[in-house]
Structure 1
Amino acid sequence: MKRNPMDFMPAYFTVAFVWFTTHFGGGFASGRQLVEFFVQYGWYALFTPVIAIAINALVFYYAWDFSVAHQKFQYRSWTDAFYKPYERVFSNLYDVVFNLVLVVATAVAFATGGATLADVLGTPYLLNTLVIAIIMFILTIYGANIVRAAASWIAVIVITGLLFIYGSNLVVTLPNLMTVLNEAPAPRGFWYALWQSIKYAGLQAALLGGYVAVTDVLKNKQDVKRAAICGFILNAGIMVLASAVVLSYYPTIISEAVPVVFIIRNGFGGVALELLVSLLIFLGVISTGVNLIYGGSKRIVSVWAKPEEGEKSIKNKRIIASGIYVFITWSIALMGLIPLVAIGYSYVAYLALPIVVIPVLYKGITKRGGEKGKSNELDAMTAADGPKA
């Protein structure tokens, strides 16, 4: 079993943390994602996030289980094996979905980080995004062990910070929340709110390629199950807490570009918590970009490189691929945050539901997983860069 980058932490925690830190990206960190998919539809925001994350937990459990059983840790090799005998169609479709979500989610990360740092620190937006791009690039090129280690440390810091920020503000805003709930705002009803949570699950499931890239650390089905359960508790718990606080300012907060800053300025925290939330958003956007860009660069390397080239050549090509992804997503970030979240994520969600969510749940539930197999040499070489135990 490969050793976990954080010796005091079980391997399945590191995978759960990669899920959490990828999920906690630009849209989630700013609170904008919560508004778009949950809070603007009223009090259902207190439980519809749980539905979305429960769907994701099932999808990831079945996908990770297949990945470990068949030793497929690069998402194209995973899709080719999983979608047999229709891999020519579905593998190419997922290529489109993953690269679309990679570009949009990483661009949102740049936009959120740049806008938040500019708002709180007063530093130029362009400079902020350039610093974020450099850090993302450096972390990405060092491989799966660094990605898992970074995600694990960031997760510990982010979870602690989020619990403090949203926990303290929930105490302050509880009267506001009770007023909102008593007025029972639900502008479009339960079924529309439920559909938005399903769309959110589709959006997050589109990130599967990034998660498959780091599951080589899991040993068996029990590890996979623990990773899925831990990831569900982390993601669903934080989302419900955050949604409750954001909902306290309904409907004023709907138009805010960075709702979490609005909450601190109108609730508890002051300058100290503004600086803390800036740090958390900075860490969140870094972790999302690194996790996704690493998964995407592995895909490029699998097509571009040949097994006989050797590890050094493959690493050099991954560096180039990472640089290309960083540049493209940084450029797209100039579109701004709200349009990227509201429009870009919706298209990704619509595509991911029939291409990822439905097939994975169907094959997982019906146990139509196909024959076990071994990864090819290049897949093994790009799975991880650290020592194996």
Structure 2
Amino acid sequence: MKKSPASAMPAFFAVAFVWFTTHFGGGFASGRQLVQFFVQYGWYALFTPIIAMLLNAVIFYFVWDFSVSQKKFDYKSWCDGFYSPYEKIFTPLYEIVFNLTLFTATAVAFATGGATLTQVIGTPYILNTAVIAIIMFIVTIYGADMIRAVASWIAIIVIAGLLLIYGSNFIAILPNLREVIATAPAPQGTWPPLWEALKYGGLQASVLGSYVAVADVLKDKRDVKKAAVAGFILNAFIIGLAAIVILSYYPAILTEAVPVIYVINNGVGGRAGELLVSVLIFLGVISTGVNLIYGGAKRVIRVFAKEKSDASDKKAEIIASAVYVLLTWGIALFGLIPLVAKGYGYIGYISIPAIVIPVLYMGFMRKNNSAKASNM
């Protein structure tokens, strides 16, 4: 089986880990994102996270399948090919969605990581964000192999940490969970929680450019299918477990800024659990920022690398990575996070018509056409 060169593991695992580590950011680590999209609707949170991850798995399967079969590993060329003959509409639209997500998520990552380090070890916020910026830049410029390797190691550490936190609390919360399930769900009805699950799937799909950028290690359709299945199992299990544990404290937990700390303080963990959460948030910040910035840098290479050489490509990649890092770092420093963070909701809305619907439609259409051609 083909291995990811830097990570010495099956290629599909490395790609699945990139999906997980991009998905796992500060919002996921703190639990606030899960409350916003799932837990606020009561016991619907038992299954709506799984719906969101299943939607992502199908979308990313079509994304990777086209990327590998057509050898397109930056999102501009992928969009032009996949959306053809409507690329003049959907490619610019995706450019907007991806960069909005990149700047929003990475700036929030800087702010979250900087604030966490300040709280845990007391170092200045600006210094913390500068250290994070340097780490992101160094990892990014080493390319896709380094991204996959870092994502793989971070994923292993994060998965172990999340299983320790939420797994140890799972037994303790069962009585609370039974009470929540026994009561009526939040009064909004069935459609709002399903709609939030679709929005969450759209938000995660908005960064498909980062996943295209690391798909070059996948060899064929079998690798693609394994990456999608492995990514779904990994993401669905972790987000499902986290949502269940947080749900057990519904509705008191809805107003908590960092729900996972509330879980630890009211369950199992104590001070050691708080420190572990801080480490996981820091790792989530690094992995999300790196994956997004690299996806953007791959796109910029096609615009600014005039000479067809590895040296010119590398120079363009370094410059693009530096620009993305500096801009998002600047947004975090100037206190625009509360304004920028509101973009998450808009990204979810925009991504459904711009990404979710067309990718599913064209993906299934190509699959049906391929099946018909093979039967002739």
Q: What TM-score results when the alignment is normalised by the length of structure 1?
A: 0.90
2: CA distance, partners of 1:75 / 1:177 = 42
Partner of 2:357: 358
Deviation of 1:113 after TM superposition, in Å, equals 1.6
Q: Does 1:122 align with 2:93?
A: no
* 1:257–1:337 Cα contact (<8 Å) kept: no
Alpha-carbon deviation of 1:121?
3.1
8 Å CA contact 1:74–1:295 kept in 2: the answer is: yes
Query: Is 1:154 the counterpart of 2:150 in the alignment?
Result: no
What is the match of residue 294 of structure 1? 294
Paired AA for residue 346 in structure 1:
G
Separation of aligned partners in 1, 2:128 and 2:55: 35
1:224-253 Cα offsets, whole Å, 9 max, x none, are 000000000000000110001111222222
More displaced 10-residue stretch of structure 1: 126-135 or 85-94? 126-135
Q: Is the 8 A contact 1:5 1:148 kept in 2?
A: no
| Equivalent residues, number | 369
Rounded Cα–Cα distance in structure 2 between residues aligned with 1:265 and 1:114: 23
- Contact residue 210 and residue 296 of structure 1 kept, 8 A: yes
Q: Which amino acid aligns with 1:357?
A: V
Q: Which residue of 2 aligns with 1:10?
A: 10
SS at match of 2:193: helix
Residue in 1 aligned with 2:47? 47
Within a 5 Å distance, the mapping from 1:102-251 to structure 2 comes to 102-251=102-251
CA contact (8 A) 1:44 1:193 kept: yes
- Residue by residue over 1:22-66, the C-alpha shift from the partner in whole angstroms, topping out at 9 and shown as x without a partner, is 000121111111011111111101110000000000000011000
Summarize the Cα distance change of 1:8–1:313 in structure 2 as closer, same or farther, 3 Å threshold: closer
Deviation at 1:320, TM superposition (A): 1.5
- Counterpart residue number, 1:93: 93
Q: Aligned partners of 2:340, 2:312: CA distance in 1, in Å?
A: 35
User: Structure 1 338/74 Cα, relative in aligned 2: closer, same or farther at 3 Å?
Assistant: same
Q: Letter of the aligned partner of 1:81 in structure 2?
A: G
Query: How big is each residue's C-alpha offset from its partner over 1:154-205, in whole Å with a ceiling of 9 and x where there is no partner?
Result: 1111111101111111222222222222233313121110000000000001
Cα distance change of structure 1 residues 105 and 91 upon mapping to structure 2, 3 Å threshold: same
- CA RMSD of superposed structures (Å): 1.9
- Pairing 1:315–2:320 present: no
Instruction: Give the counterpart letter for 1:359 in structure 2.
Output: P
Residues 55-66 of structure 1 aligned to structure 2 (within 5 Å): 55-66=55-66
2:177 is aligned with what amino acid? L
Distance 1:197 1:7, change over 3 A: closer
- Deviation of the 1:145 alpha carbon: 0.4
Contact persistence 2:202–2:348 (CA under 8 A): yes
The secondary structure found in structure 2 opposite 1:367 is helix
CA separation of 1:167 and 1:352: change in aligned 2, threshold 3 A: same
Report the secondary structure of 2:273's partner residue. helix
Deviations along 1:320-349, whole A, 9 cap, x unmatched?
A: 1111111221232354766655x2111111
Question: Is the CA contact (8 Å cut-off) linking 2:7 and 2:152 kept in structure 1?
Answer: no
Whole-Å Cα distance in 1 between the matches of residues 268 and 337 of structure 2? 25
- Partners of 1:337 and 1:165 in 2: CA distance: 28
Gaps of 5+ in 1: 372-389
d(CA) in 2 for partners of 1:358 and 1:272?
44
* AA in 1 matched with 2:351: A
Conserved in 2, the CA contact under 8 Å of 1:107 and 1:332?
yes
TM-score by length of 2: 0.93
Shift of 1:117: 2.5
CA distance 1:216–1:2, shift in 2 (3 Å) = farther
Partner SS state of residue 42, structure 1: helix
For residues 274-326 of structure 1, what are the alpha-carbon distances to aligned partners after superposition, in whole Å with 9 as ceiling and x for unaligned? 11111111111100100000000111111011243x22222122111111111
- Asked if 1:333 is matched to 2:332, the reply is yes
CA deviation digits over 1:349-376, x for unaligned, max 9?
Answer: 11111111111111111227999xxxxx
Q: Secondary structure at the match of 1:219?
A: coil
- State the AA in 1 paired with 2:25: G
Determine if contact 1:293/1:326 at 8 Å carries over to the other structure: yes
Secondary structure, counterpart of 1:21 in structure 2: helix
Retained in 2: the 8 A contact 1:137–1:322? yes
- Residue of structure 2 in register with 1:285 after alignment: 285
Alignment of 1:246-261 (within 5 A): 246-261=246-261
